[in-house]
Each structure stands twice: as structure tokens, then as C-alpha cells.
Amino acid sequence: MRVPFIAGNWKMFKTGQEAVTFAEEFKEKYKGTDIKTAICAPYVYLSLLKNLFSGTNIKVGAQNAFYEDEGAYTGEVSVKMLEDVGVDYCVIGHSERRQYFGETNESVNKKLKRLLAGAITPILCVGENLEQREKEEQYLVVRDQLVGAFAKIEAEDAQRIVIAYEPVWAIGTGKTATPQQAEDMCEFIRNAIEALYGEQVADEIVIQYGGSVKPANATEIMNMPNIDGALVGGASLNASDFMEIIDF
Ligand code: PGA
């Protein structure tokens, strides 16, 4: 039985004070729901959010991590460090990291493997850009991203990965994929996982949709059979909007 999981991705937004204000408002509103949730925040606020959300079911995620545990890698943060501050989730391979920071299927695979060696749950992002969609290459692109990301990962670990399908053309553009377009790709992803790992893993793996999810479209998206959750950027910055999405 897959439990819905709705995560916020704050990207590079909010000051510490704004994070505190959000957390206080969100904690009040979140009471009484069984939907799983997490806020994926910039590194510098992870400890702060862990403290603010302690004693609640609200989890905290990072937006990236490096696969080496320590070393001369100026500016990087290791999975080991995230484990040390008690982070629950980590987004890997977000399209903005692939586009602006040179993330590749190979580095995504290394990061996933390191996360799976510990207890942090990875949220693996896949998705095609506009040009690829226009050329009708979206299924090939996503398949390649999946095969690359899951290389040499065993079934029991694979099952722990949350997959977020985020078409790049729908991120931050206000242009949502139609619920059917999102469902078609999430079904394709589930079938691809079945081909790699069999039916049981495919049935259990959680697949989110991301890209301009907001209160007005959350219900339709969440009602699709192969969509188990959402990765929410812009609308997760506001506690009321994010809570409305969780209450889809
Ligand atoms: P958006 O971002 O909801 O602002 O489109 C989604 C994401 O990039 O995770």
C-alpha cells in the first residue's frame, strides 16, 4: 500500500526568520493528517527545521548531497553530514542541478548509492525538457535517466527510492502537465521499474509528479492511479498553499 507523500522544495528561497515563520504556521495546520510530508530546504536551515519540527511527523530534506564522506571538495556537503544532522530525505538529480551544475546520470547514481548505504530516503528527479517533449523523445529521455540512476542498485534498495517525474517545461512556468500527461509518464516509469526489478518493487515504489503543482490542480493530479505524491516548488513557500495541497 503506497502512502501519499507530498514534499516541498524550497530551492534557494527564504531567510532563517522566514523559515521559522513558515514552520510555526505549518505545524499548526499540519496536525491531523496522515499524508507524509517533508520540506526540502537549503543546507543552512536543515538543523533549524529539524528542531522546529521535532515532535511532529513533518520531515526534513536536503536538495543535494555529495557522494564522498569527506575530503578536499570545497563547497560540497556529504551524505554523512546530512546523516549527522538527522535529515530524512534528499533530492537528487533535480533538473536545475542537471542544467546549471553539471549533474549527470553517473553522478546521480553515485549519490543514490551513498544515500542508500544509510537511512536517508532519496527523491530522484527525472524529466524531459521542452525540446525533447516537442521531438516526442520524453520516454527515451526518462528511460535513460532511470537506467543510469538505478545502475547496480539492488531491488531491496531500489524500492526505497522515491521517484519524482518533473517535466522541465512545467517547472516554475505555471504550465502544468495535464493530469493525463503526468499519469502517462508515471505509468511508464512504474513499468520501467517493473522491467528492471519486477512487479513487487514496481507496486511499492512511490512516484511523485512535480511542476507547477498548486492548490487548484492538486486534487486532479493526486487522483491519478500511478501518481502517489507531489514535489512542490513555488507553492511550498507558503504554509497555507502547501497545506491545501496536502489536503488535496
Ligand atoms: P514548481 O517547482 O512547483 O515551482 O514548478 C517544482 C520543482 O522544481 O520541484
200 CA to centre of own chain: 22
- Ligand 1 centre to CA of 70 (Å) is 30
DSSP state of 119: S
- Which pLDDT score, from 0 to 100, does residue 68 have? 98
Half-sphere exposure of 171 (CA within 13 A, CB side): 23
The answer to whether the CB of 130 falls within 8 A of the CB of 124 is no
- Out of 94, 96, 128, 183, pick the active-site residue: 94
Nearest alpha carbon, ligand 1 atom 3: 233
CB contact at 8 A, 26 and 8: no
C-beta of residue 210 within 8 angstroms of C-beta of residue 165: yes
pLDDT at residue 2 in the model: 95
Confidence of residue 111 (pLDDT cuts 50, 70, 90): very high
Rounded Cα gap, residues 114 and 230, in angstroms = 24
Residue 106 pLDDT: 98
At residue 74, the pLDDT reads 98
- 144, pLDDT greater than 90: yes
Residue 4 has pLDDT above 90, yes or no: yes
As a whole number, mean pLDDT of residues 145-161 equals 98
156 assigned to active site: no
Residue pLDDT, tens place only, 35-81: 999 999 999 999 999 999 999 999 999 999 999 999 999 999 999 99
Domains and CATH numbers, the chain: 63-238 (3.20.20.70)
Q: By the 8 A CB rule, do 227 and 245 touch?
A: no
Is 172 a residue whose pLDDT tops 90? no
DSSP assignment, residue 29? H
Residue at 160: amino acid letter: R
Q: Which of 82, 144, 151 is nearest to 112 (CA)?
A: 151
Report, as an integer, the average pLDDT of 130-152: 97
Question: Residue 101: CB partners within 8 Å, gap ≥ 6?
Answer: none
Residue 55 burial (CB < 10 Å; 0-12/13-18/19+)? exposed
Q: Whose CA is nearest to atom 7 of ligand 1?
A: 233
C-alpha 47/C-alpha 36 separation (Å) is 20
**Ligand 1 pocket, 175 CB below 6 A?**
no
pLDDT score, position 31: 86
Say how many Å lie between the CA of residue 166 and the centre of ligand 1. 8
235 CA from centroid of ligand 1 (Å): 8
Q: How far apart are CA 125 and CA 105, in angstroms?
A: 11
Q: Residue 1: which pLDDT band, with cuts at 50, 70 and 90? A: confident
> Please, which contacts does 13-17 make with residues 24 or more away whose CB atoms are closer than 8 Å?
13/237, 14/41, 14/42, 14/45, 14/237, 16/44, 16/45, 16/48
Kindly name the residue from 96, 103, 128, 166 that is annotated as catalytic: 166
pLDDT at 228: 98
Average pLDDT over residues 111-139: 97
> Does 7 sit in the ligand 1 pocket, CB within 6 Å?
no
Three cell numbers written together for 102: 553539471
In testing the pocket of ligand 1, which one of 5, 11, 99 has its CB within 8 Å of the most ligand atoms?
11
Provide φ and ψ at 36, rounded to 5°: -75, 140
Confidence label for 32 from pLDDT (cuts 50, 70 and 90):
confident
Distance in Å, CA 218 to ligand 1 centroid: 13
Write out the three cell numbers for 22. 513558515
